[in-house]
Amino acid sequence: MGQHSDTGKTTVATPDLTNVIQTLIKQESLPDTYAVTVRKVILPLAQHIQSVRQERQRPILVGINGAQGTGKSTLTMFLRALLSAVYQVPTVSFSIDDLYLTRAEREQLAAEKHPLLLTRGVPGTHDLKMGQRLIDQLMTAGVDTETPVPVFDKSRDDRAPEPIWPVFKGRADVVLMEGWCVGALPEDGNSLTTPINRLEEDEDSNGVWRGYVNQCIKIDYAPFFGQIDCLIMLEAPSMDCVLKWRTLQEHKLTAKIDDAPNKGNSGNRQSTRLMSDEQIARFIMHYERITRACLAEMPASADAVIHVDNDHSFSEPLIRQRQ
């Protein structure tokens, strides 16, 4: 979920870095050793983002790309906290996942274009106009302006009601946008011809779905991503790891639902759209083509790259300076 900070410019003393890190580690139930990752990996990224903001002398948009399960949400949370609390830079974050079209909108899209577009995730299933309005308002807001940040409820596969969206107050000097396809580029048309998995072979044999998705990237997503001032990539080691990590995410979501106070109510599980391991494997096939393309192309072009190992550990970031 996209989260927010209402930290504004202030003259109060800067919080101690160690306290900020320890508080977040405890909050997220992370091992104490994660403090080393924060100092070696995340802090240099925060410093780089701050330097980009100072150089541009205006609010900036930071994109965070990573396949499912790579740790984008945790990285984003720490970056937001470090920039807000330690550097005193008003920072807000949201996930491109929170821009998904509603279930009803995707049902209509699936009926008009292709049945596979019912499944959230691929380019074409986001409300980019809502995303652009969000970014514009965050970057131009007045001191007292309140901006609701959208939330998508994955357990119900639909947008959460607006009254429960978090609210960011004031102008954001840094906007963090994370998501699996952030920064993705369109493929050459010839590469779309051959299916790369069973889903494409069995349910998109004529290539209509993948052609539509690729066209959406080219026409709509490329300019949307083109406004990113700094692109960070979490580089997964393989698609096998992506499947394993995404399955683990679903297991955690299932446990969270089961542990909810109303877990004894008959409608608790039934009202959600949680997936079995077999459904997750099919779900990941929707993402595979673009994920593989990002893994092949983006490490050479992103402003910062962090390699994610099989055990989920992060390498120190490779940071490039834009010319």
Residue 222 has φ and ψ, to the nearest 5°, of -60, -50
What structural domains does the chain harbor? 17-100+126-180+221-261+302-315 (3.40.50.300)
CA separation for the pair 118, 110 (Å, rounded): 5
Of 103, 43, 104, give the one whose Cα is nearest residue 78.
43
Residue that is written with structure tokens 């593989």 in the block: 292
Which of the two residues, 276 and 147, has the higher pLDDT score? 147
pLDDT tens digits, residue range 149-201? 999 998 899 999 999 999 999 999 999 999 999 999 999 989 999 999 999 99
**Is pLDDT at 219 greater than 80 in this prediction?**
yes
Tell me the three state secondary structure of residue 189: helix
Supply 211's token pair.
């052609």
220: enclosing H helix or E strand: none
Supply 46's token pair.
């925060």
pLDDT tens digits, residue range 56-75? 999 999 999 999 889 999 99
pLDDT tens digits, residue range 280-323? 889 899 999 999 999 999 999 999 999 999 888 999 999 997 66
What is the DSSP secondary-structure string of 145-177? -EEE---EETTTTEEPPGGGS-EEES--SEEEE
Considering the entire predicted model, what is its pTM? 0.88
23: enclosing H helix or E strand: helix 17-27
Residue that is written with structure tokens 């508080």 in the block: 23
* Burial of 150 from C-beta contacts in 10 A (0-12 / 13-18 / 19+): buried
If you average pLDDT over residues 77-102, what whole number do you get? 96
**Is pLDDT at 95 greater than 60 in this prediction?**
yes
CA separation for the pair 176, 91 (Å, rounded): 8
Among positive and negative, which fits the CA dihedral 189, 194, 199, 205? positive
CA separation for the pair 5, 146 (Å, rounded): 12
pLDDT of the residue at 264: 44
**Is pLDDT at 22 greater than 60 in this prediction?**
yes
Supply 154's token pair.
């994955």
Please measure the distance between the N-terminal and C-terminal CA atoms of the chain and give it in whole angstroms. 33
**Is pLDDT at 275 greater than 90 in this prediction?**
no
If you average pLDDT over residues 224-238, what whole number do you get? 96
Which of the two residues, 264 and 152, has the higher pLDDT score? 152
pLDDT of the residue at 11: 38
CA separation for the pair 174, 1 (Å, rounded): 18
If you average pLDDT over residues 18-25, what whole number do you get? 92
**Is pLDDT at 268 greater than 50 in this prediction?**
no
Are 145 and 169 in contact, with CB atoms under 8 Å apart? yes
User: CA of 79: how far to CAs of 73, 82, 104, 222, in Å?
Assistant: 10, 5, 34, 25
Q: Tell me which amino acid residue 295 is.
A: L
CA separation for the pair 160, 148 (Å, rounded): 12
Tell me the three state secondary structure of residue 86: helix
pLDDT of the residue at 7: 44
**Average pLDDT over the chain, rounded to whole?**
90
